Amino acid sequence: MTQALYLDDSYRRSFDAIVTGVDDLGVYLDRTAFYPRSGGQPSDLGILIRGDEVFRVESVELSERGICHRAHGLSPGEAVRGEIDWERRYRIMRSHTACHILSAVIFRETGALITGNQINIDRSRVDFSLEAFDRSMIETYVGMANDLIKEGHPVRVRVLTRDEAMEIPDLVRLAMNVPERESVRVIEIEGVDLQACGGTHVRNTSEIGEMRLVKAENKGKSNRRVYFELVG
């Protein structure tokens, strides 16, 4: 299986790897810093380089064989260098960390869980199990999130055993169960949030900038959808 370098270092922009397999879907590497689409976060884009030749990575997906890079023209055993579209990745990192802060605020104020999310470079959305639809209150929650962002809280990655993770109250705020695995990767926003997550994040909330509410929608019983964008 592919060694996922992004789990330990979200700021890694390039890496060296060996092609371990190729099929109709794309290329498999022994190690990669490309994030595969999962958990509401889109995949990284970028290039693989072999000598003077450049192969564009159109998307990255999880598969039974490992992490599949949608690129063609390479062969097993070849050495490549991967380079991530860093501007895109960094904006996604900022948006994803912003999602955690907003969800922490709404959970603290209402107890609502996350029922869905989709992170994008232009705007992102989060769905909450809120009983009442009140746009003015959602605007208040976004304002609270911005206050926390400005305070500059450190963001850290922790890996806990499943037993350790399940002992932490409110660690999982998704309206679903944690997958059965021995360890759980946790994103800690110091003094703000502690949440199980496999995505990429910034090191400090001050990197996020400002969240701006785009719109809020009533998506049915106890399901409120919040769209936001980053300013700057």
**1.10.260.40, 3.40.50.300, 3.20.20.70, 2.40.30.130: which CATH number matches 3-84?**
2.40.30.130
- Average pLDDT along the chain: 92
Model confidence at 172: pLDDT above 70? no
User: What is the pTM assigned to this prediction?
Assistant: 0.92
Domain ranges within the chain, ordered by starting residue = 3-84, 89-231
**184-228 pLDDT, tens per residue?**
899 999 999 998 899 999 999 999 999 999 999 887 777 889 999
How high is the pLDDT of residue 175? 43
CA distances from 191 to 27, 49, 109, 187, 205 (A): 41, 42, 16, 12, 11
CATH of domain 89-231: 3.30.980.10
For residue 180, name the pLDDT band (cuts at 50, 70, 90). Answer: low
> The tokens of 219 are what?
């998506």
Bridge partners, 21 (sequence order): 28
Model confidence at 74: pLDDT above 60? yes
